[in-house]
Homo-oligomer: A and B are copies of this chain.
């Protein structure tokens, strides 16, 4: 029983943490509650209830189904639902009229055939990429309304009234959702996307810097009190945020102007930036692997390269940070060009220090006499190349990262 109690407590704590981490989640819950209560007023007030012919439940249903966490998602679903209902309703009434003209015998056959054909075609159309990303929900509501209205025509006397009521109630439910989601503490998908991108840039900068400084054991730079996700595993967030970025960008497209974003804000550009960032992150991943590899370079070589590596990594993460800041404020940074130049210079330094690399493999004279690590079959004054391989790889990956950061700079210059 105690074990159960502890587990329950752990669960409660986790749930509590969900709310504390992002209070917007709690607010979202309350918003849904408010909308539902508002809509259910239709049931309690006679005139309202009669006004929509007792089909008030469609409004309730709309609220439950349409209300989503971000404004963009709510708008996209609400508009999809509204348009699909209108379209499918008119089509179904057309079919109803035809079926009525042809007499009682043919009636159910025509209705069934129409439902079968339209449902099949519409379902298939959901595989078309543009429909899938933007109108998937609309198509499903289209099928739903069409089958409902056209089939009901067999029983319901005044089909037009029935269809109109469905449209009204859905419009009421949908607009309650959209208004509440926009007016009470709105969660803009666009804002979230913007934040995600800038935060990912910062994370990338952090992990790049820490990766290198950890290798050279520069412990003064490491502040253990930093947030864990800000640590050098941050690039993993960048690797995994593809799906989130795409969903948010898709919803952001539906949102009206808000804050510093205009209506036709180039959201696609964010996806592009995200892709380029993931490109960088792949390299950081490989960099981390080569740094954590078992082959450790001898100390004297590490010391020799420490300066150049550290400078390059700090310059390139400065560029990333500046980019993040520029994206955050959506202004062109005046510093950026300077920083990029500095980064390029650091690359040049690294390259020229690598130019005579093979000669540096000869350890300094004092150590050379005591060096026991060099295997007997290697020429006595040379460090085996395998030992420095990770260092060389890291250098080359850093240079590649710089190239990709330059690509990122271009992408941010929308």
Contacts and interface: CB of A to CB of B under 8 A. Distances in A.
A401 to B, nearest CB: 10
Interface stretch (A187-195, A337-345, A391-399): A391-399
Copies of this polypeptide in the complex: 2
A147 B282 CA distance: 48
A244 to B, nearest CB: 9
Interface in A87-110: 108
Contacts of A60: 144, 147-148, 151
Nearest to A15: B128
A371 to B, nearest CB: 16
B25 A127 contact: yes
A127 B44 contact: no
Nearest to A247: B243
Contact of A64 (B65, B147, B285, B357): B147
- Residue among A54, A357, A395 having the largest count of chain B Cβ atoms under 10 Å: A357
A306 to B, nearest CB: 18
A364 interface: no
A128 B286 CA distance: 33
B112 A40 contact: yes
Contacts of A122: 29
Given A37-B115, A151-B43, A382 B358 contact: yes
Nearest to A21: B127
Given A356-B385, A386-B355, A400-B289, A123 B33 contact: yes
B54 A155 contact: yes
A325 interface: no
A121 interface: yes
Nearest to A354: B385
A285 B286 CA distance: 9
Interface in A152-176: 152, 154-155
Nearest to A125: B15
A310 interface: no
A37 B116 contact: yes
Interface string A179-221: 0000000000000000000000000000000000000000000
Nearest to A26: B124
Contacts of A33: 115-117, 119-120, 123
Interface in A34-75: 34, 36-37, 40, 43-44, 49, 54, 57, 60-61, 64-65, 67
A69 to B, nearest CB: 8
